[in-house]
Structure 1
């Protein structure tokens, strides 16, 4: 759980970067209609969530460095007995002060009358245009409203600054509390992937494995998925963002599953690939072990002072060399890499930042140079090989899609694989799948059986395996309210 003190520190840090005579305005996400009068389950904007911890819709965060009556203002919905009976509890103005450490709170219905006054005589507005078109127009209207008061001695802000630049740099470096959240999401998701290995068999549909994974995550407190699950059997595994998940699984095919649960807003992102019938064929095994070798080489390049592209370069080198050895590419490895001859088989990058968003925020380059990795960053490492219906290779190699993905934290001395618990060697996968017949079907018992969690930590000197016990899973108009001073 992220404490109110940590949220306060985040806001203070951001306001230090903003400087005086500034105001930051950040609305949360807008509720989205699923169909007719039914909305999708609401999820706050990640930047808004990072600074407030507030999960209700119809809210706007305002930060005003040096404001006499309090720097942190939150507009939100008022308490409403009737609406709360139908749709759930609201914090209201009092709740926002008590539980979310706001200095002032105003009803969201009064924002058009109150927010322009908060913007008076400010030089800069920190805000990110282009995300919420309707709010962009309202903000422009408020500025124009202030400009009309110039003869009254009121100055309107003359400069707009992108809020996301400084904020996203903050989000890139995870605190200990954030890492704890991400480890929870990773642990639950790892066990979910292993459960799928145990129950996988020919005849099941892709969506049935997806359903089992979602059930496992929800049963273990990850109530939302970090992204739509990819469950691709056979040739579907060669579609990078395949989400139809509606085909039957066939003996002799591989199934690629890219799925991760979200815990209190924090994402996990894991991919595992394995044979539907429990045994790799000769060709499947050769390509799988090549991808695994590339992934392990890439992970070894995760440490402070290594640059962002180093893991990708390592993976590309291993994959290109391996494809030559298998006869799927011909020529000198260095030349093939320079010409990007590997791209018909490996066309994506080796990873991305991970955090409140599955493709998390943060620059990959600084001054046009790959940025250096630093402690507190979390990234994915996910090389793959996808042969598809490539008529230039022998039929035995076609329609094989393989990706192996783990979540890796940069530590002070190296790295920590947050998702090491999920089996990924050929022997471990085949053994786990063979044990599926003995699986206890009751989800509660599965949780009890999985009492040990492993994380791999790496230092320049050696690799160690840390084993620790898994944590138990926890079952009025213009109304202004201020803290007493």
Structure 2
């Protein structure tokens, strides 16, 4: 199988991307009347009456700064004129493998503070909590670390408007995600021609894009025959149809939190 994992080449435009994010957050802070932006990556959500978590999805505002889409409990602190701080949570327990030490094309853009306990995070945030805004989903008061201004519209409106215009780095990620998705669509088309079930077509797609299901940007739509008439068909039949007459696939791939979204039909 072709190796379609994006490499360090994505780093070529990354420093300029960080500078653009700084300028955007400068404006957002000015409008909000704040001095520091604290961006929370997010936290896993526990399933009801269970000890297992739903797949984690990082806050998109956090992911726009850092290619850390699978790292919960991290914080990005931006203060105009200063190097952004990454509070990198590296939990150590015997249940899970800890996150790898920070490295890669992005690491030298940040003042990285590694913490192993959630209780140690607040000491790395600005002391003047009243001059901070927090951007992120807060499910527990402790996650706000004493910051009262959470997701102020004045700042979010500025940032959301700016996100519509992608930087060169973001375009690099989107192109890489499209290339990765194209590998999957070719594999899915071949699986359809070979007469495979929806389930097996889905598995071939995941192998080709090098994703497990939780890494996909959205649930694949793999629809054979009359199933394609259902706009958001959500099942993956294990049964092989007597005759595979048509095939609709709506599936994407992700690179550093940026996704492709491709739909094709075959007969």
Where on the TM-score scale, by shorter chain, does this alignment land: which range? Answer: 0.7 to 0.9
- Which residue of the partner structure matches residue 132 of structure 1? 138
The residue that corresponds to 2:19 in the other structure is 9
Unaligned residue ranges in structure 2 (runs of 5+): 1-9
Task: Give distance in 2, aligned partners of 1:223 and 1:31.
Answer: 13
Matched with 2:200 is 208
1:27 positional shift: 0.5
Q: 1:48 aligns with which of 40, 56, 62?
A: 62
In the TM superposition, what is the alpha-carbon distance from 1:84 to its structure 2 partner?
8.9
Report the CA distance shift for 1:161/1:126 in structure 2 as closer, same or farther (over 3 A).
Answer: farther
The change in CA–CA distance for 1:180 and 1:76 in structure 2 (over 3 A counts) is closer
| Contact kept? 2:83, 2:109, Cα under 8 Å | no
Paired residue for 1:64? Answer: 79
Kindly provide the CA deviation profile for residues 27-68 of structure 1, in whole angstroms up to 9, marking residues without a partner as x: 1021244795554554432210112334422111222235xx
Counterpart position of 1:479: none
Among candidates 171, 185, 191, match of residue 177 of structure 2: 185
Q: CA deviation at 1:207?
A: 0.8
| Cα distance in 2, alignment partners of residues 50 and 229 from structure 1 | 24
Change (3 A) 1:223 1:264: farther
Partners of 1:222 and 1:182 lie apart in 2 by: 19
- Mapped partners of 1:65, 1:236: distance in 2: 53
Q: Counterparts of 2:213 and 2:224 in 1: how far apart (Å)?
A: 25
Taking a change above 3 Å as real, the CA distance of residues 160 and 259 of structure 1, as seen in their structure-2 partners, is closer
Alignment partners' CA distance in 1, 2:227 and 2:258: 28
Do 1:33 and 1:39's aligned partners in 2 also have CA atoms closer than 8 Å?
yes
- Alpha-carbon distance between aligned partners in 2 of 1:167 and 1:189, rounded to the nearest angstrom: 28
Pairing 1:297-316 to 2, within 5 Å after superposition? none
| Residue aligning to 2:127 | 117
Residue correspondence of structure 1 range 15-30 to structure 2 within 5 A:
15-17=25-27, 18-19=29-30, 21-30=34-43
Aligned-residue Cα RMSD (Å) equals 3.8
Question: Which of 170, 191, 196 in structure 1 is aligned with 2:188?
Answer: 196
Equivalent in the alignment of 2:5: none
Q: How does 1:29-44 map to 2 (within 5 A)?
A: 29-33=42-46, 36-39=50-53, 42-44=56-58
Structure 1 residue 9: Cα displacement: 0.7
Aligned to 1:224: 215
Contact 1:230 1:242 in 2 (8 A): yes
Distance (Å, rounded) in 1 between the aligned partners of 2:62 and 2:15: 16
2:239 aligned with 1:238: no
Corresponding pairs, count: 248
CA contact (8 A) 1:116 1:142 kept: no
Contact 1:27 1:60 in 2 (8 A): yes
Which residue is 2:160 aligned to? Answer: 168
Q: TM-score, normalised by structure 2?
A: 0.73
The Cα of 1:239 is off from its aligned counterpart by 1.8
Q: CA 1:222–1:261 in 2, change beyond 3 Å: closer, same or farther? A: farther
- 1:201-224 CA distance string (max 9 Å, x none): 5863211111111111118x9993
SS in 1 for 2:173: helix
Deviation at 1:227, TM superposition (A): 1.2
Cα distance between partner residues in 2 of 1:223 and 1:263 = 13
TM-score normalised according to structure 1 size: 0.44
Larger Rg computed on CA atoms: 1
Gaps of 5+ in 1: 144-156, 276-485
User: Which protein, 1 or 2, shows the higher relative CO under an 8 Å CA cutoff with sep ≥ 6?
Assistant: 2
Residues 40, 59 of structure 1: CA spacing in aligned structure 2 closer, same or farther, 3 A cutoff?
same
Give the deviation of 1:269 after TM superposition: 0.8
